[in-house]
Structure 1
Amino acid sequence: MKRLLLLILIISCSVITAKAQFGTGGGGSTTVGKISGTLVDSVTKQPLSYASVALFRATGKAPINGVLTDDKGGFKIDGVKPGDYKIRITYVGYPEKFVGGISTTDSKPDKNLGTVLVVSSAKSLKEVQVTGTASLVENKIDKIVYNAEKDLTAAGGNATDVLQKVPLVAVDLNGNVSLRGDNNVRVLINGKPSGATSASLSDVLKTIPADQIKSIEVITSPSAKYDAEGSAGIINIITKQKNMSGVSGSVSGGIGTRQNNGNLNFNYNKNRFSLSINAGGNLTWPQTSLNTFNNDIHPEGTNLHYATSSAGQTYLKRHGGIGNVSVNYDFNAFNSIHSNIRLNQGGFDPNSTNISSFTNFNHPDSNSTYTSRGTSHNTFGGFDWNLDYTHKFKKEGHELDISTQWSHSKIVTDYMTRYTAQYPNQKNNIDGLNNEYTAQVDYTNPLTKKLKLEAGGKEIIRRINSNSDLFMPDPQNSDGFIPDALGSSTYDYNQNVTAGYSVFTITLPKGYSILAGVRDEYTTIHAVPQSLGQNLQPFDLNYNTFVPSLTLQKQISTTQTVKLAYSKRITRPSLQFLNPYVNTNNNQAATEGNPTLSPEISQTYELDYITFIGGSVLNFSAYYRHTANVIENIAVGTAANQGTLSTYQNAAENNSFGGSFFGSVSPWKPLTLRASINVYTYNPTAYAQYQQYFSQTGVYWQYSGFASAELDLKNGFIAQVFTFGSSPRRTIQGSSPSFSLLGAGIRKQFLNKKASIGINTLEPFNKYKNFNTSTQSAGLSQTSTFAFPFRSVGLTLSYSFGKVTFSNQQKKGVNNDDMKQGDQGVGGAGGAPGSR
C-alpha cells in the first residue's frame, strides 16, 4: 500500500494535466505521405552524399523528423502528415540552408522537391550536425553516441571489442565494464535491460556479434527519468533494428584465428505493419591461457604462517547466439502496439591444470606439492519479452506509453576439481533461475513551447532462486562422489522496486535551458538462505531513495555549448553480496556475503564544453564525484582454510576528481583522427572499523584512453588502425590489471557499397597479453599473473539486399537500469573455484 501511495503522489501532476485531454486522441486525419528530393552542389553539380535533411513545421523551431541523403544525394522523409513544412540542409563545408513553402494535403500527400542546389562556402558552418554515417562519434545534449557500424575493425568481434573503443568506457580482461573508472554502470540493450545481463553481463556481451551493433550511447549524468541505479551512468547498446518501408536485409560473417561468427538481419514494412528479425552467433577457437599465483598468509592474532605458489594453464572454448523478433502495428496516427522477444544462449567450457606447492612454516612436515585438474561446463540463456502500447494526443509530442516486460534467464554451472594431494576432490552443480516482471507508465506533455513535462511510474518484481548441490569423495570409490548434504545450499531472493518520477524541461531566453527532475524509489528485499551445515536466517531490507537531478545548459553560439549537471545515483548490493552463506568451494579463498549491506550513494557534479570547428568535434569535461558507503570486498588471512576469507562491507567513502576529452578531426580530407582520454583520482577514506585492512591509502591517479586513424584510400578501400589502454584499477587492498590493445584493418566495398570484404588483426606483435593483480593487507600478501592469447587475424564478409526508406520513429519501452553490475551469476551459493 505504501508503494502504491508513493507512485500516485509522484505522478499526480501528470494525471491532472492530462485528464481533460486523454480521451480526445484518435481523431483527425490518418493520411501520411512523403517529402523527397535530390541535393547537388550548385557549381560542380555533384550529389551531396550523406547530407543531413531535417524536417520542421513551417513555423517550428525544433525538427520533427530527418534523414541522410544516399550516395546519389537523394532523400525521402516518410510518415509526413498533411500540413506546411520547411527543411533544413546541413553538410560539412556548406552553410546551413532552409527550403520553405512545402505543403502537403490529404489529396496530395507526397511532395517531390526535385533538384535542390546547395552553395558551398569556405567559411566555417554556423551549425554542424555530426550525425548518421558521417561520423563515428556524435555529441548530443544528454549523451555521447558511438556509431559502431562505421568501425570497420570491430567486424568479426563481439560487443566487448566494440565497448573497448567507446569514449569514457573501459572493459577489463574479464569483460567487466566501467565508465570513467566506475564499475557501477548500467548496461542496456535497445533501451531495455536483459535478464541475461542481470545474471552474467560479461558473458552475454561476448555473445553479441559486433556486426549486429548499430551504435552505443553513453549517458554520464542521467536525469530523474532513469532508474537511480548505477553511480557511473548508463551504457545503451543499439542493435541494427530500423523503422523502414520496404523489404531489406543483410548477411555477414567472419572467420579468424580467435573467433568465427555469422549474422542475419531481415526487415519488412508494409503500410502500418513492420517486422524485424535478427539472428547471430559466434564460436571461438580453443584458447590456452597461462597463470601463476602466490599467496603468503599470517592470520591475525596468531604466529601461524602459510604460503602457496602455483603455475598452470587453462584451455577454454566459448560459444554464443542471439535472436530477436520485433513486430509493430499502428492502428492509426494516435495508437500503436509493439511487441519484441529477444532470445539468447551461450556457454563456455574451461579445463585447467595447475601444479602447486604448499608451505607451512610452523609444521614443515605438512609441506606438499600437488596437481589440481579442473573441468567446468557453464551455460546461460533466456528471453526478454516486451509488450508496449503508445497513445499519441493531438498536440505534437503529447503522448502516453504503457510498457510491460518479462525477463527470464537460467544459468547452470557444473564443475569438478581433482587433487593429487593436499585437498579432497570436489564437485558442484549449481542451477540459478531469474524471473523479472516490470510494468511502466510514461507520460510526456509539452505544456507550452518553453515547458515540457515528463512523468511516470514503475514497478519491478524480481524472483531469483538458486540451488547448489555439493558432492564429496565417495569413500567406497576413489573416483566417485556422493552428495554432501551439509555443504549444499539454496537461496531464494525476492526484490520489489516501486518508483515514480517527474521531470521538467524549461527553455529560457539567450540560449539557456534547464532539465530538472525528482525521482523516488522504494526497495523491499526478502531473502531466504538455507544450508544444513550453516546456521543461516532469513533477512529483510527496506529502504527509500530520493533522487534529484538538475542540468543547466547554455548555447553560447551555434557551434559551442556548455553544460553543468548534478545527479545522484545509488548502487544496490546484489543478491550475491547479501548472501550470508560461507562459500568454501575454493579451498584457499572462501567468500561470504553480508545481509546488512546498505546501498552506495554517489553524487556527481559535471561541467561539459562541446564545440564544432568546421568538420571537427571536441568535447571537454570536468567532474567531481563523492561516494558514500563504498562496497568493497575485504580479504583477510585465516587459519581455518590456511588461506583467505573475503566479505563485502560498506568500508569507505571516496572523493574522485576527473577530467575527460575526446575529439575527431580531419587534418586532410581522406584522413580522420579520433582520440579520447579520461583521467581521475581514487582517494578512499576508510571507516574506522576497517582501517586496519587498508593498504591503498592516499591519492591515486588512474586513466583510460583510445586513439584511432582512418584513411579513405578511394575505390572503395578504407583502412583503420587503433589502440587503447587503461591503468591498473585500485581497490582498498590492491590493484587489478592494466590493459592495452593494438589493432588494424582494411575493407573493400563493392556492388555499389552493398557488399564488402575485409581483414582485421589484433596484437600482431604479441602472442600473449600479461595481466598482473595484487592484494595487500594486514597478514596477507597475494600476487597473480594471467597471460591470455590475443594475437589474431580474421576475414569478414557482408552483403546487404533490398530497397528501403528510413524514418526516425522511436519506440519506448521498459528500461530497468537499476541492478548492480558485477554479479556474474544467479547461482547463489556456490561458484566454480579458481584452480590452484
Structure 2
Amino acid sequence: MKRIILLIAIIFSVVSAKAQFGVGGGGSSIVGKISGSVVDSISKKALDYGTITLFRGTSKTPVTGILTDDKGTFQLDNIHPGIYRLEISFVGYPTKIIRGIETTPSKPDKNLGVVVVGQSTKSLNEVTVTASAPLIENRIDKIVYNAEKDVTAGGGSATDILQKVPLVNVDINGNVSLRGDANVRVLINGRPSGATSASLADVLKGIPADQIKSVEVITSPSAKYDAEGSAGIINIITKQKNISGISGGISGGVGTRQNNGNFNLNYNKNRFNLTVNVGGNASWPQTSNTYQSTQIDTGSFHSFKESKGTSKVSRHAIVGSVSAGYEFNAFNSLNSTIRLNQIEFNTNSNSVTTGANPFSLNSVAHAIPASGFDWNVDYVHKFKKEGEELDLSTQWSHSIGNTEYTNYYTAVNPNQKNKIDGTNNEYTVQADYVLPINNTFKLESGAKYIIRRINTINDIYSPSGNDFVFNSLASSTYGYNQNVGAAYSVLTINLPKSYSILAGLRDEYTTIDGNPNSLSQKNVPFTQDYNTLVPSLTFQKKLTATQTIKLGYSKRITRPSLQFLNPYVDSTNILAQKVGNPKLNPEVSQTVELGYNTFIGASVINLSAYYKHTSGLIEGIATPVSVTVNGIQQGATLTTFQNIGNNNSFGGSFFGSITPFKILTIQGSINAYTYKPDPAGVFNLAQSQNGTYVQYGGFMRGTLTLPKDFVIESFAFGSSARRTIQGTNPAFSIFGMGFKKQFDNKKYSLGVNIIQPFSNYKEFNSNITSRGLTQVSRFQYPFRSFGLTFSYNFGKLSFKPQNPMEKKKGINNDDLKQDDQGMGGGGAGAGAGGR
C-alpha cells in the first residue's frame, strides 16, 4: 500500500508543478519528414547521389542535408514544423531551388513527389566534407567510449571493449569494476538485462564487439537512475540503426584464441523501422595451469596441502535482437525490442593434491549459465511544449541457468554429480515525465516497480556402482522473491553566469523473502525489507567556452544478490566450501567528487578527485574448518559473505587525449584510490591487511591514420592487485596492436589483431591470510593471440550526416539516439546455475 501511495504522490506532484508554473504553449518538439525523388528533365533517369540541402526560410545556414540514393529518392528526417526551401545540386546540372515548403504539427510530413532537374553545360565542383565522432568523448555528465571507432575491437567481445574504457577495469574472469569498485550497474541500451543478473561476466563475453556502438560511464548518477551499484553505471549502447531504406553489414574475425561473427539488417519505410541483429563467438579450447597451497593451523588441527592441475575450457555464445518501431504521428510513437541470448561452455579439469592424504580429481562440467530473453515495449508521447515528454516502459526479462558437473576422485572422496537448474523472471513497469518549466527550471519525475521471481533446483547424485542415483537427502530447492518500488524527482536549474544545479531525490523500498527447502540442511524461510532515500546534488560552473568545473554528491546502494543470500553450503569442492548469508544488509556508499574538464584545441583533459564512504561493506570471509571424508580428517576452508564494516576511500582520476600531429592521436587514463577498511566486531580477527593501500588502473592508446584508409593502433592497460581484509586478488595487464585497411570507400575492411605477442601465458596470483589460515593461488591463462578481422557493409539508403553539408558517396548509417534515462532494476535478481 505504501508503494501505491508513493506512485500516486509522484503523479500528483507532476500535475501540481505543471499547474503552478503555468505550462503550455511555447515551442514544439514535433518532427516530421520531407521526401521526394529527383530525375533528369530529358532522360527521366534518376539522379543518384545528388546533394539535397534544406534551409529554413531565407536563411543561408543549412538545417540538414542528405544524398539521393541510386533511385534518386531522398528523405529528410527529424524536421521541425516551419517553412523551408530545398536546394538540389548534382554534377553537370544547375542548382534546383524549391521554396515555400511548409510542414505543420498536424501534418509534419511533406512529400514533394518527382522533382525534375534540367541539364547544364557548366559542371559543379564536388565538395566532400567529413566528420566523425572521436574515440572518446568527455561530456559533462559522462564519458563516452565510441567503440565503433576502435580498430582493435574487431573479432572481440564486450569484455574486450570494456577493458579499454576510461575508469573501467575488467579482471581475468571478466568481472567488471568502475574506479576499483565491483558494485557497478551494467545496462544494455539503458536497461538492465535478466541475463546479466545471472552471469554478467559470461554475458559480456558473449556479446560481439561489432554489435557495440558506444559505452557510457556515469560515475555520479542523478536521482533519476536506479540507486543500485555503488560505483556508478556503465551503459552499453548497441548498434540499432534507424535509416531510410535497406542496409546491413557482416563483420567478424578469426583468431588463435576466439572467433567472432555478426550480421545486421536494417529497414526503414515511412514511419516504420525494423532492425535485426545476430552475432556470436566461439573460443578454441584453452588450457590453463592452476596451483594452490593451503595451510591450516588452528592449534587443535594442522594441515598443509598443495594442488596442481590443468583446466581446458571451450565456450560459445549467441546473441540476437529484433527491434521494431512505428511513429503514429509527431506526437506518439511505439517501439518494441526483444533480445535473445545463450552462453554455453564446457570444462574438463584435472588436478593432483598432495599432503597427508593425497588424491587426484577429474572434474567434467557443462554449463549454460544464461539463456533467455529481454522483451521491452516503450510508448513515447510528446507534448506541444518544447521538450515536454511522457515515456511509459515495460520489460520482461526471462533467463534460465543450467549447470551439470561430475567430480571423479581417487583415494579419498566419493565421486559426486550435481545438476543445478535456475529460473529468473523479472517484470518492470516504469513511467518518466520531463517538464521544461522555463529557460531556468526543468523538472523530471518518474516511478518504477520491479518484481523478481527466482527459483533454483539443486539436485545431488551419489555414486552407485558405475553410475549415479538421485540423493533426495542432499538435494535442495530455493525460492527467492524481491520487489522494489521507486519514485524520483530531479530539478535542473540554469543560473546566470554559466552556473547550473542538478538536485534530485529518489526513494526506493525493497522487500525480500526467501524459502529454502532441504531435508539435510535445516534453514527456515526469511524476510527482509528496507527503505532507502537517495539524494543527489551537482553544482556546475562553465568557466570558459572550453572549461567546466563540477562538484557533485551521490548516494548508491548495492543489494546482495542470490549467491550472497543462499543459505545452503556449496560443497562442490569439499575442501573449499561456500555458503551465503540471508541476513546480509545492502552496501551503502556516499561519494563527493570534484571534476574539471577542458578542451585545448584537439586535446581533451579531464581531472577528478573524490572521496567515498562505504558502510556495510560486503566481502567473502574464508575460515579454516576440518572435514571428515572416508573416516579421514581433512583441512578445508569455508567462505561466508559478511557485512564486515566500513571503508573510506580517497581517489583521483586523469584522462587525456592529445593530437600532436594530424595523423596521430594519443589517449590515456589513470585512476588511483585508497583502500582502508575498518572491520567491525569479530571481523577484526580475520583482518590481515590493516594499512592504507593505494590501488590503481590505467590505459594508453595510440592511433595512426595513414593515407589510403590505412590505420595502425596499439594499446596497453593494466590494474594493480585488489585488496580485501584477508589478502589480495590478482593484478592484470595486457598489450595489443592492430592494423586495418579499408576498401571501396570504406565499404569493405580487412585487419589484423595481435594480443600479448611476447608471452603465451599471463599469470594471476592471489593470497589469503587470516588467523589459522594461509592460502596462495596461481593461475596461468593463455592470452597470446593472432587474428584476422573483416567487415562488409551493404545497402542503398539515405542518411542524416552529422555535418549538414556532408557529401559522401557510399554508406553512412545514422544511429538512433539512445535513451539516457538509465531505466533498470537492481542486481539482486541473480539467476541460478552459476558455480
Q: Is 1:314 aligned to 2:311, yes or no?
A: yes
Residue identity opposite 2:826 in structure 1: M
CA contact (8 A) 1:770 1:788 kept: yes
Q: Are the aligned partners of 1:404 and 1:813 in contact in 2 as well (CA < 8 Å)?
A: no
Q: Which residue of 2 aligns with 1:240?
A: 239
- 1:642 alignment counterpart: 635
Instruction: Say whether the 8 Å CA contact 2:54–2:62 is kept in structure 1.
Output: yes
Residue 137 of structure 2 corresponds to 138
Shift of 1:82: 2.5
1:101-250 paired onto structure 2 within 5 Å = 105-106=102-103, 133-250=132-249
Is the 1:187–1:817 contact (alpha carbons within 8 Å) kept by the matching residues of 2? Answer: no
Verify the 8 A CA contact 1:81 1:109 in the aligned structure 2: no
Q: Aligned with 2:207: secondary structure?
A: coil
Q: For residue 765 of structure 1, give the secondary structure of its aligned residue in structure 2.
A: coil
Which of 809, 826, 834 is residue 832 of structure 2 equivalent to? 826
Mapped partners of 2:678, 2:57: distance in 1: 55
Which residue of structure 2 aligns with residue 268 of structure 1? 267
- Taking the aligned partners of 1:115 and 1:441, their CA distance within structure 2 comes to 52
Structure 1 counterpart of 2:754, from 752, 761, 781: 761
Take 2:8 and 2:387, find their aligned partners in 1: how far apart are those partners?
23
Secondary structure, aligned partner of 1:748: strand
Whole-Å Cα distance in 2 between the matches of residues 637 and 684 of structure 1?
Answer: 22
Q: Helix, strand or coil for the counterpart of 1:693?
A: coil
Q: CA RMSD in A?
A: 3.2
Out of 430, 443, 447, which is 2:433 matched to? Answer: 443
For 2:16, the equivalent position in structure 1 comes to 16
1:195/1:436 contact within 8 Å kept: yes
- 1:690 corresponding residue in structure 2: 683
Secondary structure of 1:134's match? coil
| Structure 2 gap ranges (5+) | 38-52, 69-73, 86-98, 116-122, 628-633, 801-813
**Residues of 2 paired with 1:103 and 1:286: CA distance?**
66
Is 1:787–2:786 an aligned residue pair?
A: no
Displacement after TM superposition at 1:28 (Å): 11
| Structure 1 residues 208 and 564, CA gap change in structure 2 (3 angstroms) | same
Residue in structure 1 matched with residue 799 of structure 2 by the alignment: 805
1:647-677 deviations in whole A, cap 9, x for unaligned? 1111110001111011111101111101010
**In structure 1, what is the equivalent of residue 513 of structure 2?**
526
Shift of 1:369: 2.0
Q: Distance in 2 between matches of 1:468 and 1:132?
A: 56
Residue 753 of structure 2 aligns with an amino acid whose one-letter code is N
The aligned runs of 1:410-489 (5 Å cut-off) are: 410-474=400-464, 477=465, 479-489=466-476
Contact 2:29–2:383 (Cα < 8 Å) also in 1: no
State the Cα distance separating 1:85 from its structure 2 match.
8.9
Give 3-state SS (helix, strand or coil) of 1:9's partner: helix
Structure 1 runs of 4+ aligned residues shifted over 6 Å read: 19-25, 27-30, 53-59, 63-70, 114-118
Partner of 2:386: 396
- TM-score (normalised: structure 2): 0.87
CA separation in 1, counterparts of 2:64 and 2:683? 56
Structure 2 CA distance for partners of 1:526 and 1:57, relative to 1, 3 Å: farther
CA contact (8 A) 1:230 1:818 kept: no
- Deviation, 1:581, is 1.4
CA distance in 2, matches of 1:116, 1:58: 24
SS of the equivalent of 1:658 reads strand
Indicate how the Cα distance of structure 1 residues 110 and 450 shifts in structure 2: closer, same or farther if over 3 A, else same: farther
**Retained in 1: the 8 A contact 2:619–2:642?**
yes
State the distance in 1 between where 2:57 and 2:373 align.
41
Q: What is the CA–CA distance in structure 1 between the aligned matches of 2:25 and 2:101, rounded to whole Å?
A: 24
Partner of residue 742, structure 1: 735
Cα distance in 1 for residues equivalent to 2:491 and 2:583: 36
Q: CA deviation at 1:9?
A: 2.3
Query: Equivalents in 2 of 1:650, 1:132: separation in Å?
Result: 51
Please state whether the residue corresponding to 2:200 is helix, strand or coil: helix
Give, as a single letter, the amino acid of the residue that structure 2 aligns with 1:134. Answer: A
Q: Which residue of 1 aligns with 2:548?
A: 561
> Are the aligned partners of 1:34 and 1:80 in contact in 2 as well (CA < 8 Å)?
no
Q: In structure 2, the residue corresponding to 1:198 is in which secondary structure?
A: helix
- Whether 2:346 is the aligned partner of 1:349: answer yes
* Structure 1 residue 501 displacement after superposition: 0.3
1:554 CA drift (Å):
0.6
Q: 2:718 aligns with which of 706, 717, 725?
A: 725
- Report the 3-state secondary structure (helix = DSSP H, G, I; strand = E; otherwise coil) of the residue aligned with 1:204: helix
Deviations 1:573-602 (A, max 9, x none): 112211221222211111121111111110
* Counterpart check, 1:699 vs 2:686: no
| Cα deviations by residue, 1:339-388 (Å, 9 ceiling, x for unpaired) | 10000011010100001113xxxxxxxx2222100000001210000011
Distance 1:350 1:29, change over 3 A: closer
Counterpart residue number, 1:540: 527
SS of the residue corresponding to residue 252 of structure 1 reads strand
Counterparts of 1:553 and 1:55, CA distance in 2: 35
What is residue 364 of structure 2 aligned with on the other side? 375
Change (3 A) 1:736 1:115: farther
CA contact (8 A) 2:142 2:216 kept: yes
- 2-side partners of 1:54 and 1:683: how far apart? 60
2:95 is aligned to none
SS in 2 for 1:157: coil
Matches of 1:35 and 1:673 in 2, distance apart?
44
Distance, in Å, in 2 between the alignment partners of 1:349 and 1:383 is: 22
Deviations 1:400-456 (A, max 9, x none): 111000000000000001011121111100001000000000001101111111101
**1:658 partnered with 2:657:** no
User: Using a 3 Å threshold, how does the CA distance of structure 1 residues 281 and 28 change in structure 2: closer, same or farther?
Assistant: closer
After superposition, the Cα gap between the structure-2 partners of 1:254 and 1:29, relative to the gap in structure 1 and judged at 3 Å, is closer
Residue type of the alignment partner of 1:185:
V
CA–CA distance in 2 between the matches of 1:586 and 1:675? 42
Gap runs ≥5 in structure 1: 37-52, 87-101, 121-130, 359-366
- The alignment partner of 1:707 has SS state of strand
Structure 1 residues 657, 244: CA separation in 2 closer, same or farther (over 3 Å shift)?
same
**1:623 deviation in Å?**
0.6
What secondary structure is seen at the aligned counterpart in 2 of 1:611? strand
Q: Secondary structure at the match of 1:374?
A: strand
AA aligned to 1:438 is T
SS at match of 1:663: strand
| Maintained 8 Å contact 2:219/2:232 | yes
Q: 2:327 maps to which residue?
A: 330
CA contact (8 A) 1:230 1:817 kept: no
1:243 counterpart SS class? coil
Spell out, residue by residue over 1:466-515, the C-alpha distance to the aligned partner (whole angstroms, 9 max, x if none): 000011121xx1x3212222211111000000000000111110001111
CA distance 1:321–1:64, shift in 2 (3 Å): farther
Letter in 1 for 2:358: T
8 Å contact kept, 1:600–1:628: yes
Q: Distance in 2 between matches of 1:590 and 1:166?
A: 35
The question of whether the paired residues in 2 share the 8 Å contact of 1:248 and 1:804 is answered with: no
Give the match for residue 250 of structure 2.
251
Deviation string, structure 1 residues 609-666 (Cα, Å, up to 9, x no partner): 1111111111111111000010111111012362111111111100011110111111
CA deviation digits over 1:74-98, x for unaligned, max 9? x996220222799xxxxxxxxxxxx
Aligned length: 767
Contact map agreement 1:388 1:812 (CA 8 A) in 2: no
Alpha-carbon distance in 1 for matches of 2:589, 2:550: 20
Cα distance in 2, alignment partners of residues 195 and 296 from structure 1: 40
Q: Is the 8 A contact 1:65 1:808 kept in 2?
A: no
Distance 1:80 1:31, change over 3 A: closer
One-letter amino acid of the structure 1 residue matched with residue 34 of structure 2: G
Instruction: Go from structure 1 to structure 2 and tell me whether the alpha carbon gap of 1:488 and 1:340 turns closer, same or farther (over 3 Å shift).
Output: same
Partner residue in 1 for 2:482:
495
Q: What is the CA–CA distance in structure 2 between the aligned matches of 1:761 and 1:522, rounded to whole Å?
A: 49
For 1:668 and 1:376, the matched residues in 2 are separated by 53
